[in-house]
Chains A and B, each alone.
Chain A
Amino acid sequence: MRAKSYAKIAIWTITALVTAFAAATHIACGTQGDIIGGTTAWPVSGTKPWAKLDLGDGVLALLAPEGEVYLEPCLIKALGHHWIYFERRVVEAREDGLDYATHSEILVAKGRNAFDYEIEYDGLPVLYPTQDWEGEFVGAPTILQREDNSLVMWYAGGVAAGIGRAISHDGGETWEKDDGPVMVADQKWERGFVGAPSVIYHNHLFRMYYSGGEVTETSTGQFAGRLIGYADSPDGIHWTKRDHLGNNSKDDGNNVFYIMGPTQFWEGADEVNPDPYIGGVNSPAALMTNQAGRNVLLLYYGGNLVGDPILHEMSVGVAGAYDYNTFTKAPIIEMNPVVNQNFDLNLWGISEYLGYSEYSPSVIQVTFDLFLMAFAQTDPLAELTGGSRGIGLAQNPPPRDAAAGG
């Protein structure tokens, strides 16, 4: 009888120990994981998905007033802050009812953080046309911070006149320009136009991606190119244009090819009778990323149906390269364009879909798993209704509670 009691005590003791063991390990060991199980830490490559950020009732990060267009943003983190340098283009309506640009200059907005910007210097430009070759237009800035904390800017000047360079030693308030452009159109494919540069510094060279080809002024006042070229330079002043076939402007004169042209339908490409001057890709933004120890160069760009005066249907696409000038575009199934948001307009009881226009992207990697894009945006009826024109932001990956805007 006594042994039986001991046995019962032993069994209950062991059962209690097992239960306590289970409970303790349940509490002490590790984390629960996310609700799906392993989805919150997916790798982020900066390609897709993107979601436009609603910065309060859909207000853009920088909203252009009537009569102006904000475009060609350059989003950078420099000197401990986030900045958006951008082009302000003043437009006026002419007899055909559309807006055309009269002049442009470069402004800067300082970020309170990566998402919240305010225009600096009371809206006065930090760079404006002063040299003959610039005519009435400077814009499309791209900026790098140097080791001595000075800033160097490359910018487009004039109407397809070239690319200039300027340096700031006071954090971007004042800039010293070089005399004349550092790059002009001299290749056949450029047809007299170069602009919208994007410069990175990698492997001891400055590397520039720029727009070229026929220039078309859109109804938003943008000078849109059709093709994208590449050049590199040891000093940022003397540039050698190169293509993916091995040609370079030093040895091959004006026979260097563009590195990317319109080939996908959303870029306006003629898929039946391919012609690089039908449709367009332009305003490139280069970003060197690192994927599991390998460098991957991403090139964001605008693609559009150039020539459509009302519905540009401009969107942002992405291409990538494992070198500097051999790019593969993201496929059109589930990928390109990566920022192409539509809105639902209920017109006379019939649902119709019209697209916003997104163009002139600029992208930075904020953290290991967050990419931020600034882009120029208009709504499709901006010309008719005075709709919003300005600089918007998108992020990859989208916020957890946001729908993808791709």
Chain B
Amino acid sequence: MRRLLAGLTLFALLIPAAAWATPYDTFGTGARSIGMGMAYGAVGGDASAMHYNPATIVKASTFQLEFGYRVGDIALEMNDRQSDIDQDRGFTLGVVIGKTLLARQFRIGVNVYTPDDHFMRFYLPQRTAPVFLRYTNINHMQATITGGAFEIVPDIWSIGFGSSFVSSNTGGVDFLLSEDEGARGNLVTRLASKATPVIGTYVEPLEWLHFGLTYREKREQSLGLPNRIDLGNLKVFKDNGIIVFQEGLEILQVNSSTHFSPRQINLAMAVEPNDSFIWSLDATHYKYSEMKSNVAFSVANLTGDLGQVLPSDPPLLIPEPKTHDVWGVATGVEYKAIDNPKFQLHTRAGYNFRPTPVAEQTDVSNLLDSDTHIIGAGLGFTFADFSEVFPAPITLDIFNQFHYMEERTMRKHDPTNDFGDVKIGGYANSIGATFILRFN
């Protein structure tokens, strides 16, 4: 019965819900991995591995549930003032189930992050609005990664795959404006979804040496709103029938790329000289050069007499985001400080360096970012004495994650820029926990 319930739950989560993956990219997922600086591509073994390297979920138990929560401040500054970005806050749910077949491990898993405030919030900034590349509006995206993994060579080589589901909201206004009949119409929206793949492989050439390789496809979120406004005849007086402007039609197409996560290749290594110590090292290539502008743009087409009278504004130039590819590195350690049959205590620490992919914003665009240092620390409490309820140990992992964004000043070429020179910097500080229940 428990397995059936878990299976149904997993099936429900596999339905492509609205999802963005950005919180994973910025903050990571899973208390253990965050505590290790997100250097997790060759570690894994839990549901958070669906993001870092799905191949490593073969190391998870054949049935485990994970519940997590994180909260923190994003205290980034613009010109020495708090930028007032809302909190990093949300729940994580992870499930891994699996079986041993033909002496090989098979697993499927899902990892879901859900903000506890907005389920999803689109943000269409004005053309020149300051936007922190990896933080603005980041806590208002639900993220889901689901997939599976299996061993090619038992205990040595496994591969994994997953999908990150991205939703897209489309629709628009269909409206009639008429002097005689008043205004009527409606807003039509529909939710579409788009999946992008995550593929990983994991190798243990030696018992103490592990390697991981992960490819994450880029994820783009776009918002298209075609608006149709029918304009009725405009008369001199309401009832005299003298028409000043013949009826027309306005089509206003608004398009925007609202989210982007770059294509990534992650190379990972972990050294586990004994049962008490792990050292991991990850290097990730972020292909930010493919990023499109994140600002909305519109195309208006006005027909009828009004279209001949009203001037059309020149199309706005969409500022180039000016991003380039970067390599980020991360390293982490885990040490088992207490180890007895009933209780284990793991201590963790990690460091993650993310060079900025954003060039100095000298023109009208204000995509803000700077080199960022991320420090993670964590503890893991594993209880093994609940064998009558849980055949496997249960774990409570807690973490503290600190982001430090280096100070950087974006100097404008134009002294009349409406935001002017912008100096950025600051920090984000989060704490959280993940509770892991293992049933096998």
Name A's B-contacting residues (CB within 8 A): 3-4, 7-8, 10-11, 14-15, 17-18, 21-22, 25-26, 29-34, 36-49, 289, 291-294, 296-298, 318-322, 327-331, 333-335, 348-350, 368-369
Contacts and interface: CB of A to CB of B under 8 A. Distances in A.
A296 B420 contact: yes
Q: Which one of B71, B89, B129, B316 has the greatest number of beta carbons of chain A within 10 Å?
A: B71
A65 to B, nearest CB: 37
B71 A29 contact: yes
A22 to B, nearest CB: 4
What secondary structure prevails in chain A residues at the interface with B?
Answer: loop
A334 B129 CA distance: 13
Given A322-B415, A328-B414, A333-B314, A37 B237 contact: no
A369 B411 contact: no
B258 interface: no
A36 B386 contact: no
Interface string B75-110: 100110111111101000000000000000000000
Nearest to A289: B420
B157 interface: no
Contacts of B388: 3-4, 7
Given A38-B132, A335-B418, A349-B235, A33 B87 contact: yes
Interface in B378-399: 383, 385-390, 394, 396
B310 to A, nearest CB: 11
Nearest to A3: B388
Contacts of A368: 81
B415 A18 contact: no
A48 B121 contact: no
B121 A37 contact: yes
B411 A294 contact: yes
B86 A34 contact: yes
Contact of A29 (B87, B137, B390, B418): B87
B297 interface: no
A294 B389 CA distance: 66
Q: Which 10 A-B pairs have the closest CB atoms?
A: A320-B415, A33-B86, A45-B420, A30-B73, A330-B416, A291-B421, A7-B386, A292-B423, A38-B85, A291-B420
A153 to B, nearest CB: 28
B383 A10 contact: yes
Contacts of B431: 25, 29
A97 B99 CA distance: 96
Contacts of A48: 418
B409 interface: yes
Contact of A349 (B129, B237, B390): B237
A36 B116 CA distance: 16
Nearest to B389: A7
21 contacts: A4-B389, A7-B390, A18-B67, A21-B69, A22-B433, A32-B87, A37-B121, A38-B85, A38-B86, A40-B84, A42-B129, A44-B419, A47-B418, A47-B420, A291-B420, A294-B411, A294-B421, A318-B416, A322-B415, A334-B316, A350-B236
B435 interface: yes
A39 B73 contact: no
A29 B72 contact: yes
Nearest to B314: A333
Contacts of A38: 83-86, 130-132, 135-137
Contacts of B116: 26
Contacts of A296: 415, 420-421
A327 B415 CA distance: 8
Contacts of B244: 349-350
Interface string B398-438: 00000000000101101111111111000000010101000
A86 B421 CA distance: 33
Contacts of B74: 33
Nearest to A329: B416
* B89, B129, B412, B418: residue with the most chain A Cβ atoms closer than 10 Å: B418
